[in-house]
A and B are shown apart, each in its own frame.
Chain A
C-alpha cells in the first residue's frame, strides 16, 4: 500500500482506517455538542418551568416566544436529543470511530478489509448527520414524535408540528445512517475473519475486538429491517399507503381516508433494531473495559473465555427480546411473558461479565490514571444500570414503570452511561496512540469525578422520580397533584445536569488542547500488551512495517521471567512463558 501524498487524499477522502476512525470520532463529538445542548434546554424547562428566558428568546425566537419554551420545541428537543445521542454520538464515536481505529490495529492488519467501502461509510454517515441537523430548519421544525417515531403520530402531518417535513427528513437520515452503519459492520466482520495476523487465533483476540465483532454481527442482522420500516413509513406519509395506519382514524376532526395497517407493526420493526442497538453500543464498552482495566491493575483479567462466551450469549439473546419495550402496547400477554423471561435470561451472562470485571481487581496493583478511573466508573454504572433492567424486563413490574422516568434513568445509565464512560476511557487511553500526545491528567481527574458523581445524582435520582409514577416526555408536571413532590427533585436534577454539562466542556477543551499542545507520548505509554502499542504513535500508513506474529493472549501482565511487568502479544515464548 503506497501512502497518498496530497492533503485531500490523506486527511479528507482518506482510505486509511485510522483517519476514518478519527473522522467519525470528531463528527460524533460535534453531534454530541448539539445533543448535549438540547438536553440542557430540556432540563431548563423541567427544572424551572415557570421562569422566563429572554436570552433564549433572542437566540431562538421561534422556540421561545415571550421567553417560554414552546411545547413544539420541547418535543422536538426530546426527539432529536435521543436520536442524536444514540445514533450520531455513541454509535459514531464508540462503534464506528473506535471500531474503525482499533480493530485492524489489534488484529495486526494493515487496514480494514474494504477500505473504499469504509470511506464511503463515513461520507454517507456524515451526510446522514447533516441531514438530521437540517431537520431543525424545515417548516414545522424537527421531528417531534420521539426517537421511537411511533405512527400514527409520526405518520400524519397534522398530528404534531414535527410530523411535517421534519419527520420525513428524520426518516431519510435514519435510512442513510443504517446504510453507513451496515458498511462499517461488514468491514469489521470481514476484517476479523480474514485479516488477523499469524498466531492471532480467535481465542487470542483482545475482548475489544471480540465485542466489536459481536456488535457488528448484531448490527448486520438487526439494522436493515428499520431501513425497510423507514421506507414503509415514508410511503405512508407521502405515497398514500397504510402499512401502519388502521381504518377509522380522525386527527384533529379530519378523517384520514386510508386503512388496513397496524401501528404495532412499526413498533416490532423499530424495536427489532432498537433493542439490539443497545447491545451494539454497550458490548464494545464492555470489551474495551477488559482491555483497559488490566493496564491499570497490572494483572490478567479474570475469566477471559467465560467473558467471550457471555458476550456472545448476551448478543444472541439481545436479538430476540425486543418485545420487552412493548409489554403494555396491546401485544398478547403470552408473547409478553416470553419476552420477559428471555430478557431476564440476559442478566445471567451480563452478571457474569460484571463479576469477571470485579474479579479482575482481585490481588491487583491499582495504578491511578484517568482511563482506568473511567473504567472503574463504568463498572459501577454497569452494575447499577443492570439492576434497573431487572425491573423493566419484568413484565409485571413494567405495568407500573413503563414510560415513566424510571425508564429514562435506566437507559441513561446504560446506553447513556456505560457507553459514554467506555468512550471517555477509550479516548483517554488511545489518544496518545492517535495523536502522539498525552491528554492532561489533572483535567481528566476533574472530569472523572464530576462525571461519576453527576451521572449518579442525575440518572439514579430519575429512577425514584419514576417510581412515583412520573410519565416521560412531559413538557410540564404542574397540573398533576400526585406529582407535586417531584418539583424539587426536578430542580435538583437540572442543577446537577448543568454542572455535569460544564464538566464535559473540560473534556472537549482537554481533547482539543492536547491534540496540539499535549506532552509527547511514547509508543506504549500505558505499558499495555495489544499490538497497536508495538507501533509508533501515531502509527504510520499501513500500520505495521512488517506483518506482526502473535505468540500469546493479550493479557500477559506480571508474567514470570519478564524484565517488565508485562509481555506484549508479539513477545515469543522463549523469553516469557505463554499463558494462553
Chain B
C-alpha cells in the first residue's frame, strides 16, 4: 500500500472505465432481436415475457454499471473517507426501495405478463386439436397419428421392430388406419396441435425453438403439450435434454402446411 498518490487514481479511473465499458458495451450488444423467428400464437406471449425481463434487467445492468463505475472513479480520487456510517434509517429506506423495485420487475413481470401465457400454454387443450403422439427414442422422434377413426391403435414396446418403430399392435382394429412417421411431423397451419409426449428409453426434450415450445418426454409418463402454428414452413426439432451419444443429431422436422396440403398428405399416408 505504499503507492504514491497519482498512480492509484489512474488505476481507479481505468477500473471504473472497465466496468462502465462492460455496462455500455453489452447493453448495446444486447439491444437487438435475438429469438428465432416466431411461428406460433402463444409464442408472442413468451417473447413479451422475455423481452420485458430483457428491458428491465438491461436497464438495471446499464444503470448499475454506470453507478458502480462512478462510485469507483470518485472513491479512487479521494485521499480520505468522506462518509463513514449511514443512518440506520437510510439503510432501511434504501433497502426497502430496492426490494420493491426488484420485486416489481421480477414478481410483477411473472404475474402480470407471464401467468396468462403460462395458463394458456398449460391450460385446457381445444377439443378440435390435431392429435399426435410423439415418442422420443435414441435418437429419433416417432410421430403416431390416429388416422381417420381418431383413435390410436394399441402399442407395446415388445412389438417394436425397425419397421414398426412405435410397436403398433396390428390385431387392434384401431391400428389399421394409423399413420406413423419418423422424424417428420406434419401439421396444418393455424389449427391447434396437441402433442402427447412419451419416451421409450431415456428422457428427451421436445423443443420447437421457433414456436416457443419445450417439454421433456419422460419414460413412464404421457405429457400433453399444445400450440397453434401460425406460419407455413419446415422447422427443425432439436432434442433439448441430454439423451446419449446422438443427442446433438436427434433432429426432427415440423412441417407446417395448409389445411388442403395436410389433408392431401393424410390421404397419401393412408393409401400407402
Task: Spell out A's residues near B (CB within 8 Å).
Answer: 71-72, 75, 145-146, 150, 152-153, 156, 159-161, 245-253, 255, 259, 261-264, 297-300, 302-303, 305-306, 310, 328-330, 333, 337, 340-341, 344-345, 347-348, 351-352, 355-356, 358-359, 361-369, 373, 376, 379-380, 383-384, 387-388, 390-391, 393-397, 399-404, 449, 452-453, 456, 460, 464, 467-469, 471, 473-477, 479-482, 525-527, 557-559, 565, 579
Contact = CB atoms under 8 A, between A and B. Distances in A.
Q: Closest 9 interchain pairs by CB?
A: A246-B220, A363-B83, A396-B114, A469-B209, A467-B34, A387-B57, A366-B75, A333-B122, A361-B71
A344 B94 contact: no
11 contacts: A249-B200, A251-B202, A303-B94, A368-B11, A394-B49, A397-B49, A399-B121, A480-B236, A482-B210, A482-B235, A558-B81
B240 A471 contact: yes
Given A328-B205, A366-B75, A558-B84, A355 B53 contact: no
A330 B11 CA distance: 52
Contacts of A255: 157-158
B247 A473 contact: yes
Given A345-B107, A365-B78, 19 more contacts: A72-B245, A153-B244, A248-B220, A298-B81, A299-B83, A303-B95, A341-B110, A345-B103, A351-B101, A352-B99, A355-B94, A356-B95, A365-B81, A366-B72, A368-B7, A400-B214, A464-B34, A469-B35, A558-B81
B129 interface: no
Nearest to A394: B110
A251 B247 CA distance: 14
A21 to B, nearest CB: 26
Contacts of B179: none
Interface in B19-71: 19, 22, 26, 29-30, 34-36, 45-46, 49-50, 53-54, 56-57, 60-61, 64-65, 67-68, 71
Residue among A262, A452, A469 with the highest chain B CB neighbour number at 10 A = A469
A368 B207 contact: no
B126 interface: no
A395 B219 contact: no
B212 A579 contact: no
A305 B88 CA distance: 9
A390 B106 contact: yes
Contacts of B50: 391, 397, 400-401, 467
Contact of B105 (A160, A252, A390, A469): A390
B110 A471 contact: no
Given A150-B241, A373-B15, A330 B218 contact: yes
B71 A358 contact: yes
Nearest to A299: B81
A362 B91 CA distance: 12
